[in-house]
Amino acid sequence: MLIRDLARIAMGGLTVNIGRSMLTILGIVIGVASIILIVSVGNGAQRLILSQFEGIGSRVLVIQPGRQPQGPSDFFEFFTDSLKERDVKALTVRGSVPGIVDVAPVVAGNFSVVWRDESKRATTFGATDIFADILDVSTASGEFFTNEDVRQRTSVVVLGYKLNQDIFGDSDAIGQVVKIKNVNFRVGGVLPKKGNVGLLNVDDVAILPYTAAQEYLTGTDYFQEILIRVENEDVMPRVEEDVKNLLRMNHNITDPAKDDFHVMTPADVASRVSTVTGILTAFLTAVAAISLIVGGIGIMNIMLVSVSERTGEIGLRKAIGATNNDILKQFLLEAVILTASGGVIGMILGNTFSYVLSLALSYFLDVSWKFVLPLQAMAVGIFVSTIVGVVFGIYPARRASRLDPVEALRYE
Amino acid sequence: MLIDVRNLIKVYGLEDSKTHALHGVSFTIDNGDFVAIMGPSGSGKSTLLHILSFLDRPSGGQYFFEGKAIEDLSDEDLARVRNKKMGFVFQSFNLLPRRSVLDNVVLPLIYANVGQRERENRARSLIKDVGLEHRIFHLSNQLSGGEGQRVAIARALVNEPTVIFADEPTGNLDSISGRQVMTLLEQLHDRGHTVVFVTHDQMIADHAKRIIRLRDGRIESDSIIK
Q: Can you give the pLDDT at residue A43? A: 86
Q: What is the pLDDT of residues B87-107, one digit of tens each?
A: 999 998 999 988 899 999 999
Rounded distance between C-alpha atoms, residue A62 and residue A200, angstroms: 14
Q: Do A409 and B96 touch (CB under 8 A)?
A: no
Q: Do A323 and B80 touch (CB under 8 A)?
A: yes
Q: Is the pLDDT of residue A344 over 80?
A: yes
Q: Is the pLDDT of residue A65 over 90?
A: no
Q: Is the pLDDT of residue A269 over 90?
A: no
> HEC string of B12-69?
ECCHHHCEEEEEEEEEEECCCCEEEEECCCCCCHHHHHHHHCCCCCCCEEEEEECCEE
What residues are paired with A122 via a beta bridge?
A: A111
Q: Can you give the pLDDT at residue A131? A: 87
Put simply, whether B57 touches A (Cβ < 8 Å) is no
- A384 or A370: which carries more pLDDT confidence? A384
Q: Can you give the pLDDT at residue A77? A: 65
| Alpha carbon of A378: minimum distance to chain B alpha carbons (Å) | 35
Q: Can you give the pLDDT at residue A335? A: 94
| Alpha carbon of A9: minimum distance to chain B alpha carbons (Å) | 10
What does CATH list as the number for B33-54+75-210+219-224?
3.40.50.300
Q: Is the pLDDT of residue B155 over 90?
A: yes
What residues are paired with A261 via a beta bridge?
A: A65
Q: What is the pLDDT of residues A286-311, one digit of tens each?
A: 888 888 899 899 999 999 999 999 99
Best-predicted range by mean pLDDT among A9-13, A21-25, A87-91, A395-399?
A395-399
Rounded distance between C-alpha atoms, residue A224 and residue A227, angstroms: 10
What residues are paired with B27 via a beta bridge?
A: B5
Put simply, whether B76 touches A (Cβ < 8 Å) is yes
Contact assessment for residue A306 and residue A299, using Cβ atoms and an 8 Å cutoff: no
Q: Do B108 and A321 touch (CB under 8 A)?
A: yes
Q: Do A320 and B76 touch (CB under 8 A)?
A: no
By Cβ distance, the residue of B76, B82, B103 closest to A320 is B82
Q: Can you give the pLDDT at residue B52? A: 96
| Alpha carbon of B21: minimum distance to chain A alpha carbons (Å) | 14
| Mean pLDDT for chain A overall | 88
Q: Can you give the pLDDT at residue A201? A: 83
Query: In this predicted complex, what is the ipTM?
Result: 0.93
What contacts 24+ positions apart, CB below 8 Å, involve A267-275?
A267/A53, A267/A58, A269/A53, A269/A62, A269/A198, A269/A199, A270/A49, A270/A50, A270/A53, A273/A46, A273/A49, A273/A199, A274/A46, A274/A49, A274/A50
State the pTM of this model: 0.74
By Cβ distance, the residue of B75, B83, B107 closest to A324 is B75
Residue A57's SS3 state is: coil
Q: Is the pLDDT of residue B59 over 80?
A: yes
Give the start-to-end residue ranges of the domains of chain B.
33-54+75-210+219-224
Q: What is the pLDDT of residues A158-191, one digit of tens each?
A: 999 999 999 998 888 899 999 999 999 999 999 9
Rounded distance between C-alpha atoms, residue B62 and residue B74, angstroms: 15
| Alpha carbon of B116: minimum distance to chain A alpha carbons (Å) | 9
Stretch B30-57: mean pLDDT: 94
Put simply, whether B6 touches A (Cβ < 8 Å) is no
Q: Is the pLDDT of residue B211 over 80?
A: yes
Stretch A316-326: mean pLDDT: 94
Q: How far is CA B105 from the centre of its chain?
A: 15
CA angle B192, B195, B197 (to 5 degrees): 165
Q: How far is CA B19 from the centre of its chain?
A: 25
Spell out where B85-162 has E strands. Answer: 86-89
Could you tell me the pLDDT band of residue A197, with boundaries at 50, 70 and 90? confident
* First and final C-alpha spacing in chain B: 21
Contact assessment for residue A112 and residue A34, using Cβ atoms and an 8 Å cutoff: no
The set of residues, in sequence order, having a beta carbon less than 8 Å from that of B83 and lying 6+ positions away, is: A320, A321, A322, B108, B111, B112, B159
Q: Can you give the pLDDT at residue A72? A: 63
Residue A179's SS3 state is: strand
- Of A266, A272, A214, the residue nearest A84 (C-alpha): A214
Q: What percent of chain A has pLDDT over 90?
A: 45
Q: Can you give the pLDDT at residue B98? A: 85
Q: Can you give the pLDDT at residue B186? A: 94
Q: Is the pLDDT of residue B213 over 70?
A: yes
Q: Is the pLDDT of residue A366 over 80?
A: no
Residue of chain A with shortest Cα separation from B75? A323
Q: Do A323 and B50 touch (CB under 8 A)?
A: no
Residue A52's SS3 state is: helix
Edge-to-edge strand list for the sheet holding B3-12: B19-29, B3-12, B60-65, B68-69
Positive/negative CA dihedral, B78, B82, B85, B91: positive
- Of A270, A188, A238, A230, the residue nearest A104 (C-alpha): A230
Contact assessment for residue A303 and residue A335, using Cβ atoms and an 8 Å cutoff: yes
Give the start-to-end residue ranges of the domains of chain A.
3-53+271-410, 59-264
Instruction: Enumerate the residues of chain B whose CB falls inside 8 A of the CB of residue A12.
Output: 99, 103
Rounded distance between C-alpha atoms, residue B163 and residue A392, angstroms: 40
Best-predicted range by mean pLDDT among A61-75, A381-395, B13-27?
A381-395
Q: Is the pLDDT of residue A73 over 70?
A: no
The set of residues, in sequence order, having a beta carbon less than 8 Å from that of A138 and lying 6+ positions away, is: A132, A144, A192
Stretch A114-138: mean pLDDT: 88
Q: What is the pLDDT of residues B63-82, one digit of tens each?
A: 999 999 999 999 999 999 99
Q: Which of residues 177-206 of A touch B (CB under 8 A)?
A: none
